[in-house]
Structure 1
Amino acid sequence: MSTTISNSFSRRAFLRTSSLAGGGMLIGFNLFTACKNEAKMPVDIASLNFNDFNAFIKIADNGMVTIYSPNPEIGQGVKTSMPMIIAEELDVPWDEVHVEQGILSTKDYTRQVAGGSQSIRHGWDALRQTGATAKQMLINAAAAKWGVDASECTASGGVITNAKGETLGYGDVVKEAAILEIPDEVALKDPKDYTIIGTDAGNVDIEKIVTGKPLFGLDYKTEGMVIASVLRPPSFGKKLESFDDSSVRKMEGVIDVIRFGDFKGGGDKIAVLANTTWQAMKAKEALSAEWSDGTPMESTSNHDKLLTDLLDGTSFNTLRKDGDVEKAFRNADQVVERTYGSPFLPHNCMEPMNFYADVSANKIHLVGPIQTPERTAARVAELLERNSEEVHLEMTRMGGGFGRRLYGDFVMEAAEISHLAKKPVKVVYSREDDMSAGIYRPAIKYRIKAALKDGKISGYHLKEASINSNMYGLIPNFFPAGALENYQVDVAKYDSNITTGAWRAPYTNFLSFAEQSFFDEIAETLEIDPVQMRLDMLQKVKGTTDERIQYSAERMEDVINLAVEKSGYGNPKDGVYQGFCAYYCHNTHVAEVADVLIENNEPVVKKVIVAVDCGIVVNPLGALNQIEGGVVDGVGHAMYGNFTFKDGAPEMNNYDRYRLIRMKEAPKVETHFVKNTLSPTGLGEPTLPPAGAAVSIAMKKATGNRMYRQPFVENMVEKEIIG
Structure 2
Amino acid sequence: MSTINKNSRREFLKLTGLTGGGLMLGFSWFSAQAETPVVVNEAGIAAGNVGFNSYLSIATDGTITIFSPNPELGQNIMTSFPMIVAEELEADWTKVKVLQAPLDTKSFDRQVTGGSGAVPHSWKLLRNAGATAKNMLMHAAAARWSVPVEECTALNGFVVHSKTGNKLGYGELAEDASKLPVPKDVKLKDRKDFKLIGKEVKNVANKDIVTGKGLFGLDFHREGMLYAMLQRPPAFGTKIKSVDDAVAKAMPGIVNVVTFKNNVAVVGKSTWEVMKARKLVKIEYEKDGNIESTADHDKLFKSLLDTGTVTVRRKDGDVDAAFKNAAKIIKSEYQCPFLSHSPMEPMNFFADVRADGVELVGPTQTPGAARQATSKLLGIPEDKITLNITRLGGGFGRRLKTDYATEAAELSSLIKAPVKVIWTREDDMTGGSYRPAVRYRFEAALDASGNLVGYKLRGVGINSGNPTREDNFPSGAVDNLLIDNVEHVSPITTGAWRAPITNFLAFAEQAFFDEVAHAAGKDPIQFRLDLLQKAKEKPVGAVKYDIDRMMGVTKLVAEKAGWGTKKGASQGFSVYFSHRSYVAQIGEVVMKAGKPVVKKIYAAADCGEVVNLSGARQQVMGGIVDGMGHAMFSKLSFKDGAAVQKNFDTYRLIRMKEIPEVEVHFVNNGIEPTGLGEPALPPTGGAIANAIFAATGKRVKNQPFMEEDVFKNPTVTPNIKTNTKLPKSSFQKTKKA
TM-score (norm 1): 0.93
- Per-residue deviation, 1:398: 0.8
Q: Which residue does 1:31 correspond to in 2?
A: 29
Write the letter of the residue equivalent to 1:115.
G
- Map 1:476-491 → 2, pairs under 5 A: 476-491=470-485
SS at the partner of 2:276? helix
Write the letter of the residue equivalent to 2:465.
N
- Per-residue deviation, 1:569: 1.2
- Per-residue deviation, 1:719: 5.5
Q: Aligned partners of 1:104, 1:23: CA distance in 2, in Å?
A: 25
Q: Which residue does 2:339 correspond to in 1?
A: 345
Q: Which residue does 2:593 correspond to in 1?
A: 600
- Which string of whole-angstrom CA distances, capped at 9 and with x for unpartnered residues, describes residues 326-376 of structure 1? 221122112111111000001000011111111111221111110011111
- Per-residue deviation, 1:316: 1.4
Q: Aligned partners of 1:198, 1:718: CA distance in 2, in Å?
A: 41
Q: Which moved more, 1:437-446 or 1:64-73?
A: 64-73
Q: Which residue does 2:247 correspond to in 1?
A: 247
- Which string of whole-angstrom CA distances, capped at 9 and with x for unpartnered residues, describes residues 556-597 of structure 1? 1111111111111101222x1111111111111111111111
Q: Which residue does 2:720 correspond to in 1?
A: none
Structure 1 residue 456 and structure 2 residue 451: aligned? Answer: yes
Q: Aligned partners of 1:441, 1:569: CA distance in 2, in Å?
A: 33
Write the letter of the residue equivalent to 1:243.
V
Structure 1 residue 610 and structure 2 residue 603: aligned? Answer: yes
CA contact (8 A) 2:596 2:711 kept: no
SS at the partner of 2:279? helix
CA contact (8 A) 1:592 1:691 kept: yes
Q: Which residue does 2:180 correspond to in 1?
A: 180
Q: Aligned partners of 1:191, 1:41: CA distance in 2, in Å?
A: 30
Q: Aligned partners of 1:89, 1:543: CA distance in 2, in Å?
A: 40
Q: Which residue does 1:496 correspond to in 2?
A: 490
SS at the partner of 1:186? coil
- Map 1:542-621 → 2, pairs under 5 A: 542=536, 548-574=542-568, 576-621=569-614
Q: Which residue does 1:94 correspond to in 2?
A: 93
- Map 1:354-369 → 2, pairs under 5 A: 354-369=348-363
Q: Which residue does 1:106 correspond to in 2?
A: 105
SS at the partner of 2:485? strand
SS at the partner of 2:433? coil
Q: Aligned partners of 1:329, 1:377: CA distance in 2, in Å?
A: 52
Q: Aligned partners of 1:275, 1:29: CA distance in 2, in Å?
A: 44
CA contact (8 A) 2:84 2:127 kept: yes
- Per-residue deviation, 1:622: 0.5
CA contact (8 A) 1:590 1:687 kept: yes
Write the letter of the residue equivalent to 2:105.
T
Q: Which residue does 2:726 correspond to in 1?
A: none
Q: Of 464, 472, 480, which aligns to 1:469?
A: 464
CA contact (8 A) 1:36 1:108 kept: no
Structure 1 residue 660 and structure 2 residue 653: aligned? Answer: yes
Shift in CA distance, 706/256, structure 1 to aligned 2, threshold 3 Å: same
SS at the partner of 1:344? coil
Q: Which residue does 1:636 correspond to in 2?
A: 629
Unaligned segments of structure 2, at least 5 residues: 717-737
RMSD over equivalenced CA pairs, Å: 2.5
Q: Which residue does 1:159 correspond to in 2?
A: 158
Q: Aligned partners of 2:418, 2:605: CA distance in 1, in Å?
A: 46
Q: Of 368, 385, 407, which aligns to 1:374?
A: 368
Q: Which residue does 2:432 correspond to in 1?
A: 438
Q: Aligned partners of 2:159, 2:38: CA distance in 1, in Å?
A: 30
Write the letter of the residue equivalent to 2:65.
T
Q: Which moved more, 1:612-621 or 1:534-543?
A: 534-543
Shift in CA distance, 543/139, structure 1 to aligned 2, threshold 3 Å: farther
Q: Aligned partners of 2:58, 2:610: CA distance in 1, in Å?
A: 27
Q: Which residue does 1:298 correspond to in 2?
A: 292
Q: Aligned partners of 2:30, 2:600: CA distance in 1, in Å?
A: 38
Shift in CA distance, 200/39, structure 1 to aligned 2, threshold 3 Å: closer
CA contact (8 A) 2:62 2:170 kept: yes
SS at the partner of 1:174? helix
Identity of aligned residues (%): 48
Write the letter of the residue equivalent to 1:134.
A
Structure 1 residue 170 and structure 2 residue 163: aligned? Answer: no
TM-score (norm 2): 0.91
Q: Which moved more, 1:241-250 or 1:339-348?
A: 241-250
Aligned structure 1 segments of 4 or more residues deviating by more than 4 angstroms? 9-19, 34-44, 543-548
Q: Aligned partners of 1:68, 1:53: CA distance in 2, in Å?
A: 11
- Per-residue deviation, 1:188: 0.5
CA contact (8 A) 2:462 2:487 kept: yes
CA contact (8 A) 1:339 1:446 kept: yes
Q: Of 616, 621, 642, which aligns to 1:623?
A: 616
Q: Aligned partners of 2:285, 2:208: CA distance in 1, in Å?
A: 44
Q: Aligned partners of 1:579, 1:231: CA distance in 2, in Å?
A: 46
CA contact (8 A) 2:230 2:263 kept: yes
Write the letter of the residue equivalent to 2:249.
R
- Per-residue deviation, 1:483: 1.2
